[in-house]
Amino acid sequence: MLAAIYTQALFIVADVAYLRGAGVVLAFVRTFLDRKRFVAFRMGWVEALCAVEPLLLLAVTYHVQSGAVPAGSATFVRMVAALAGATLALGGAGLLVWSFLSWRGLFAGHGVLADHKLVTGGAYGCVRHPVYLAALLVWLGLAVGYLSGTALAVTALYVIPIYLLYIRSEEEMMLETFGDAYRGYRNAVPMLVPRPRQATG
């Protein structure tokens, strides 16, 4: 029974990571093909470095999954870690779905659409960057679920720093586009860590 739970938990972690990685790659392709819809599009070195992240997620997921400890050899600590990792990964997946439901026009990359409106409700009323928080949760789920030093190192040394730079670049663009409206939103809603009872409708 515990072995089956361990195996399923690791499958959840890996499946969420694979789906997110592939989904972001497809979203970048869609954004590129629809690039004429944008009145402004930002692609500097920060965006270029961040574009590698979903491919790296796919590669690291394959690496940690292929080296996973078999269920029969898993310790109690590994079983708890697998469950914690699955919880983090599912939290990231749920947040990503909520982000999409909050803004159906969600796309990959830094751009401004001709009819772009500032989205401040739903997931975006909880944190300013729910999609990036979802990415961090998936990476942490991978590191914790598989007790992977590789995934943890990539998360700490690449994913977190590049997303913080990516957020800074995005917020500069949003301030240029929306001015005081975005400034007020930024002052009212936290960047990545939600405040208690902060979510809005």
DSSP codes of every residue in 140-173: HHHHHHTT-HHHHHHIIIIIHHHHHHHHHHHHHH
Which residues are 110's β-sheet partners? 42
Decide: 91 and 137 in contact? Cβ < 8 Å. Answer: yes
Cα–Cα distance for residue pair 103/101, rounded to 1 Å: 5
193 in a structural domain: no
Encode the chain (201 residues) as per-residue pLDDT tens digits.
778 899 999 999 999 999 999 999 998 888 888 878 887 777 789 988 999 999 999 999 999 999 988 888 888 999 999 999 999 999 999 999 999 999 877 778 777 777 778 889 999 999 999 999 999 999 999 999 999 999 999 999 999 999 999 999 999 999 988 899 999 999 999 999 998 864 554
200 in a structural domain: no
Q: In this predicted structure, what is the pLDDT of residue 112?
A: 78
173 in a structural domain: yes
197 in a structural domain: no
- Enclosing H/E stretch for 39: strand 38-42
121 in a structural domain: yes
201 in a structural domain: no
Q: In this predicted structure, what is the pLDDT of residue 36?
A: 80
Q: Tell me the pLDDT tens digit for each residue of 127-167.
A: 999 999 999 999 999 999 999 999 999 999 999 999 999 99
Q: In this predicted structure, what is the pLDDT of residue 196?
A: 80
Q: What is the CATH number of the domain that holds 153?
A: 1.20.120.1630
Q: In this predicted structure, what is the pLDDT of residue 197?
A: 67
82 in a structural domain: yes
Residue 41, classed as helix, strand or coil, is: strand
Decide: 73 and 192 in contact? Cβ < 8 Å. Answer: no
What's the structural domain count of the chain? 1
Decide: 138 and 53 in contact? Cβ < 8 Å. Answer: no
Cα–Cα distance for residue pair 163/77, rounded to 1 Å: 30
Decide: 130 and 92 in contact? Cβ < 8 Å. Answer: no
Cα–Cα distance for residue pair 99/168, rounded to 1 Å: 19
125 in a structural domain: yes
For residue 102, the enclosing domain spans 2-188
Q: In this predicted structure, what is the pLDDT of residue 192?
A: 96
